[in-house]
């Protein structure tokens, strides 16, 4: 069995696809501090200090890495094909030199899943009727 792999999301684009000596060079250590209730880790990449925190994929969802196994031809023929690689339920979100905070767009992005649930939730006609008679939208309680 392979060692369990950790997924790292770095604040840079590495123009390379393939195996890398992650275990020898990328060495996250806990800083002992926490931000927004999440423990902050520190690592160095290419001389830069990175600060990261573990983010969970929300309940009911799954992270999945896809690998392209077939390309679409330049003339538009054929269908691109994908195979499933690693599935994940958490990943480490890294920032360059700054603490990861909950208002970062990367973290706020996860909020879309909640918004999406609301948008796609079935509408109860009674609720609409109630809202029309006694509007609560836009009011703070």
Binding site for another protein (CB under 8 A): 11-16, 20-21, 23-27, 44-49, 68, 71-72, 79-80, 82, 96-98, 105, 108-109, 111-112, 115
| Minimum distance from residue 55 beta carbon to another protein (Å) | 15
Sign of CA dihedral 96, 102, 103, 108: positive
What is the SS3 assignment for 42?
strand
Dihedral angle over CA of 56, 60, 61, 62, nearest 10: 80
Nearer to another protein, 109 or 133 (CB): 109
Nearer to another protein, 34 or 80 (CB): 80
| Minimum distance from residue 96 beta carbon to another protein (Å) | 6
Q: How far is CA 119 from the centre of its chain?
A: 21
Nearer to another protein, 26 or 91 (CB): 26
């Amino acid at each position: 069995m392979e060692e369990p792999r950790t997924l790292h999301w770095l604040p840079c684009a590495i123009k390379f696809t393939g195996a890398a000596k992650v275990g020898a060079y990328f060495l996250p250590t806990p800083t002992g501090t926490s931000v927004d209730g999440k423990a902050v880790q520190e690592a160095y990449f290419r001389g830069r200090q990175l600060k990261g925190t573990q983010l969970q994929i929300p309940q009911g969802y799954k992270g999945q890495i896809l690998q392209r196994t077939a390309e679409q031809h330049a003339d538009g023929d054929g269908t691109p094909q994908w195979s499933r690689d690693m599935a994940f339920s958490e990943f480490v979100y890294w920032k360059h030199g700054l603490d990861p905070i909950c208002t970062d767009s990367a973290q706020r992005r996860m909020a879309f899943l909640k918004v999406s649930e609301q948008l796609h939730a079935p509408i109860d006609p009674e609720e609409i009727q109630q809202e029309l008679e006694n509007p609560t939208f836009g009011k703070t309680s």
